[in-house]
Structure 1
Amino acid sequence: MAAVRKLRMCAVSPTGKHSASLIFLHGSGDTGQGLRAWVRDVLVPELAFSHIRVIYPTAPARPYTPMRGALSTVWFDRYKISRDCPEHLESIDTMCSTLGSIIQDELNAGIPKHRMLIGGFSMGGAMALHLACRYHPDVAGVFALSSFLNQDSVTYQAVEERFRAGLPLPELFQCHGTSDELVLCQWGEDTSMLLKKAGMTTTFHSFPGLYHQLSGPEMEMLRSWILNKLPQTTTS
């Protein structure tokens, strides 16, 4: 088996003792540094905490089918950008393994999974849902901003199976702008509904006038949710 490929990433270190970690995945074609810069543009002060390490990985460049095979920094391939087509599970599962090495690094640093959050923007949010719901369901939670899953995603089945077995599931925090492409906004809302139907605890927030982008109010709401899930504690 090939060795797991290490990802480039940037991180915002906590100002105090490191007792929790947040992995934030960028959208297609972006980078970890690009996402961090975007967050700093819309959120003052930036997404930084006294006890949480914020990690921004960069996806490796790979041929991307919707761009006719051109190289792009994407977390996985898609046959096409459509909710109705099958998922490209080979690339998704390979990347789940690669991202799992970041989680292992945090575990090695003494951070338990219940003190970790995984999330992302657009494709990064979809990647986070696969990673958290299928491979690391014992994390504290998952967030998805302007994101959706395909309608027959294996993630729905994984969530339902865990729910029926009485096994723990991460809580989902999801946001979408109402001025994003109408079909994408509907896909995002349907994703939240289907995950909730499968047994997951979900919260969906819509932002009037917001396009396929981040916003200050959205990020402030996300920051509050993060602190609720990962409070500062001396016993973690």
Structure 2
Amino acid sequence: MSLRIFILWLHGSGDSGPANEHVRELFTSPEFENAEWSFPTAPPMPITRDGGAAIPAWFDITEVPITAKSTRDEKGVLKAVQVVHAMIDKEIADGVSPGNIFICGFSQGGALTTASIMLYPKTLGGGVVFSGSVPLGSSIEKQIPLEARKTPILWLHGMADDIVLFEAGQAGCHFLEQLGMSCEFKAYPGLGHVIVDEELEYFQSWIRNHLKKSA
């Protein structure tokens, strides 16, 4: 019998959950036979960087490109984290082991992935960040539970990314490592602010390896 696995995918700003559902088509290995996926869509909200135009987003964006020192909408991030945590809580209440829960996201969804994992009170199977950042400042460090620091992170980032700069990815992974967290960083030369098959293939193998370790 295959494991009960839950994989939550958080899209980038201006995107939607259903537009990313093709990702799960890669997961054809037997261990993913009973995997449950969730591709939620963020509610529309006015975005400062876009002059107040409303688009699907997890929190506000004040500037692009996002650098290692960009100003963050921390209040909005924490509100979005509560939504993610409620989804995780529901899966655990339904009998899924925390070690079989993976939170993943691209761009703003990747940023929300890091925040959600850092603040969750249990150790999860892992988090996967595509072209993301850490959307919370160093003042959050005291609020990070010990169990959260044990959740491993995979971070994939294009070196030619002009939306979330490569330096923001490097700084984010370094920040997680300073907290004592495991963060595997993979750089992709010439890659911009997109996800490519090579990343998705590694993403699948990484989750498979972590499922074996938890088993």
Asked if TM exceeds 0.5, the reply is yes
Q: Deviations over 1:205-227 (max 9, x none)?
A: 01122211111111111100111
Distance 2:109 2:8 in 1: 10
Distance 1:35 1:219 in 2: 12
Q: Deviations over 1:107-130 (max 9, x none)?
A: 232102122111101110100111
Distance 2:162 2:39 in 1: 26
Q: Percent identity, aligned pairs only?
A: 27
Distance 1:139 1:174, change over 3 A: same
Matching residue of 2:209 = 228
Which of 191, 194, 200 in structure 1 is aligned with 2:181? 200
Distance 1:36 1:100 in 2: 21
Matching residue of 1:89 = 74
1:217 aligned partner, one-letter code: E
Show structure 1 runs of 5+ residues with no match.
1-15
Show structure 2 runs of 5+ residues with no match.
none
Query: Are positions 1:212 and 2:197 aligned together?
Result: no
Runs of 4+ in 1 over 4 A off after TM superposition: 153-159
Distance 2:163 2:72 in 1: 21
Q: Deviations over 1:69-108 (max 9, x none)?
A: 1111111113334442442122111111122221122123
Matching residue of 1:119 = 104
Distance 1:58 1:231 in 2: 30
Distance 2:97 2:141 in 1: 25
Report the TM-score when normalising by structure 1: 0.78
Distance 1:123 1:104 in 2: 22
Which of 94, 104, 123 in structure 1 is aligned with 2:89? 104
Distance 1:114 1:135 in 2: 13
SS state at 2:160 partner: coil
Matching residue of 1:61 = 44
Matching residue of 1:47 = 27
Conserved? CA contact 1:47–1:223, under 8 Å: yes
SS state at 1:230 partner: helix
Distance 1:153 1:124, change over 3 A: farther
Q: CA RMSD in A?
A: 2.6
Deviation for aligned residue 1:181: 2.1
Report the TM-score when normalising by structure 2: 0.85
Distance 1:126 1:231 in 2: 26
Aligned length: 210
Distance 2:51 2:151 in 1: 35
Distance 2:41 2:164 in 1: 27
